[in-house]
Amino acid sequence: MGPTVRVTLAEVERRLVARRRARYISALRHAFFSAFIQPPEPILYAMNPVSARRLVPLLAGVLLAGAAAADSFRCGNRLVTDGDSAAKVLALCGEPSEVTTTSILRRPVVWRYGRPWYASDDLVPVAVEFWTYNLGRQKLMRRLRLEDGLVVEIETLGHGYHDDP
């Protein structure tokens, strides 16, 4: 056994007070400095590059999914979407309030295996029509762009108007 160390009661109390004082001062320092020094955001530093590369296409898909759903509109309980023919739109919604006709020049294209193949470098005229549907004051107007008799774009306009006869 080692030498016996005798400590007085006053020395024990002094050591306890010093230890409590040190803990108290440490807590004060932590509270003071944590108000000025913010810890780094854990998500910015915890994400590795591989998971970030996976996250970007996911977010892009979510954002584009909302935009894809906007290319349709209802006529009563019937739905008009991209790719519908002019005859189908007329059957579902009736005659439009306004029709504007123009043409554009475009290279002839043939779709094979999901890819466009251009038949030639010559430009051919393509008929483009804009049909506007006024659905009344309480609903938004819709403008359909038809190329070669197929709906290619559906645009939402402002509130409709009511024509008094």
84, part of any domain: yes
Q: What is the pLDDT at residue 131? A: 93
Same domain, 137 and 84: yes
Same domain, 58 and 133: no
165, part of any domain: no
DSSP state of 139: S
Same domain, 56 and 97: no
4, part of any domain: no
Same domain, 52 and 121: no
pTM attached to this predicted model: 0.53
Same domain, 138 and 100: yes
Same domain, 138 and 103: yes
Q: What is the pLDDT at residue 99? A: 92
Same domain, 81 and 154: yes
Same domain, 92 and 129: yes
pLDDT in tens, 120-138: 888 888 889 999 988 888 8
146, part of any domain: yes
- Report the distance separating Cα 142 and Cα 155, nearest Å: 6
Alpha-carbon separation of residue 141 from 21, 72, 99, 120 (angstroms): 74, 13, 13, 39
Q: Which residues contact 117 (CB under 8 A, 6 or more apart)?
A: 109, 110, 111
Same domain, 23 and 77: no
- The band of 74, judged by pLDDT with boundaries at 50, 70 and 90, is confident
pLDDT in tens, 89-117: 999 888 998 899 998 898 888 888 888 88
Token readout for 85 is 């023919």
- The band of 165, judged by pLDDT with boundaries at 50, 70 and 90, is very low
Q: What is the pLDDT at residue 47? A: 55
**Structural domain range at position 100:** 71-159
1, part of any domain: no
Cβ–Cβ under 8 Å, residues 153 and 83: no
Mean pLDDT score across all residues of the chain: 78
Statement: residue 40 has pLDDT above 70: no
Q: How many domains does the chain have?
A: 2
